[in-house]
Amino acid sequence: MLAVLHLGPKAYGATIIRELERRTGRRSSSGAVYVALRRLQKKGLVSSRLGDPTSTRGGRPKRFYTVERAGRDCLRQALEDWSAMVRGLEDTLEQTS
């Protein structure tokens, strides 16, 4: 969902995969990404729409993804949870060095 948010209206399969790889420095399986997008869509966290067909894709349209309000709420909660867990770790890491 974060890659979809970063890409905004340009978020479709190939750009999402490239964004994930660019930001994480790791390869992403296209199959895994599409499975995750379908699951997120089923949960109502992400929606998709078909763009116009393009000649470069043999007349097939691209499927563009958008993070829905429920997805944004979910990400916001995850960020708050992550921040709460991270708070104070610097002191703990210093003590264990």
> Hey, what are 76's tokens?
């916001």
What is the spatial distance between Cα 65 and Cα 1, in angstroms, rounded to a whole number?
A: 9
By residue range, what is the domain housing residue 83? 2-96
Domain total in the chain: 1
Give 1-39 pLDDT, tens digit per residue.
Answer: 999 999 999 999 999 999 999 999 999 999 999 999 999
Tokens of 55: 């000649």
Q: Residue 72 maps to which CATH number?
A: 1.10.10.10
- Distance from C-alpha of 13 to C-alpha of 34, rounded to nearest angstrom: 7
pLDDT higher than threshold 70 for residue 97? no
Angle at 61 between CA 40 and CA 39, to 5 degrees: 10
For the ranges 29-38, 51-60, 88-97, the lowest mean pLDDT is seen at: 88-97
Provide the 8-state DSSP code for 12.
B
Confidence class for position 54, pLDDT limits 50, 70, 90? confident
Indicate whether 41 pLDDT > 90: yes
68-87 tens-digit pLDDT: 999 999 999 999 999 999 98
**3-class secondary structure, 29:** coil
Terminal Cα distance for the chain, rounded: 35
